[in-house]
Amino acid sequence: MQNKIGAIIPIRLASERLPRKALKEICGRPCVYHLLDRVLDVPYLEKKNIVVCTTLDKSDDDLVEVVESYGASVFRGSTDDIIKRFYDAIAKYDFEYVIQVDGDDILCDSLYMKLSMDKLLEDKSLDIVTCEGLPLGIASKSFTRIAMEKVYAKYKTEKNDTGFGYFFTKTGICKVGEIAPVSHEHILNEARLTLDYEEDFEVFKKIIEALYVKGKVFGLSEVTSFLRENPEVMAINNKLDKEYWTRTKQKAKLEYQDSLGNMRGIEI
């Protein structure tokens, strides 16, 4: 029997820094559609198995309508506890393996989604595969349902909307594999490609308006080539990284239970 593979994408519209950002439009389409195009480009996936994991808050009703109009699926769960939201969504859709993409990463690269899942399926000793060395906002993760169950049994901090991925990668709960950049062209540390601030949206707008062709998905090489040719675009938002990581460290106060039953904090 073939293992069921899905994708899970956490998104909510009540963002502190840029409210309703997933519905802001570029080239006449909401940002979430540009991301869903890229997830759908992964050979392992079909629309019904791409699940946007949002909240039960009324503020997310508009997101549900937009995602369902695209043809993808929606799961609604806890507002702050993304670990539980993921656990419940994976159980509902009966996924054995998942590709996890952050909703802010609207140019997350399809190739690396595929490569992380390839490695996870090939090496049965692994619980999760991450992508390292790529620009912020390009990487994804793939993990098993067993990994989700392991984390769910050990995590203790229920407000984990910032830093939830660290339960998988920084606790020893899961065995982690990594994918490195497959091309030197893909390494561009100056680039910031995640959507948190108005300046980030401006960068995405310039990239997508330059590269978007209806019905096609452009790759990371095209993105980095555009940015190298237009360094003034990277300069719009790359100074925000210090604030971004400071905020992450302040908000991600996460605890879990180790193998001996002791409470531990995650160092970031």
Q: What is the pLDDT of residues 219-244, one digit of tens each?
A: 999 999 999 999 999 999 999 988 88
CATH 1.10.1040.10 fits 5-265, yes or no: no
Instruction: Walk along the chain (268 residues) and give the pLDDT tens digit of each residue.
Output: 468 999 999 999 998 789 999 999 999 999 999 999 999 999 999 999 999 999 999 999 999 999 999 999 999 999 999 999 999 999 999 999 999 999 999 999 999 999 999 999 999 999 999 999 999 999 999 999 999 999 999 999 999 999 999 999 999 999 999 999 999 999 999 999 999 999 999 999 999 999 999 999 999 999 999 999 999 999 999 999 888 888 888 888 999 999 999 999 998 8
Query: What pLDDT does residue 251 have?
Result: 85
Query: What pLDDT does residue 1 have?
Result: 47
51 phi, psi to nearest 5 deg: -115, 115
Query: What pLDDT does residue 122 have?
Result: 98
CA-angle at 40, arms to 39 and 46, nearest 5°: 125
Strand 50-55 to strand 128-131: parallel, antiparallel, or no bridges (unpaired)?
unpaired
| Other CB atoms within 10 Å distance of the CB of residue 79 | 17
CA distance 163 to 247: 11
Query: What pLDDT does residue 245 have?
Result: 84
CA distance 84 to 94: 15
CA distance 191 to 19: 23
- Give per-residue pLDDT as tens, 53-69: 999 999 999 999 999 99
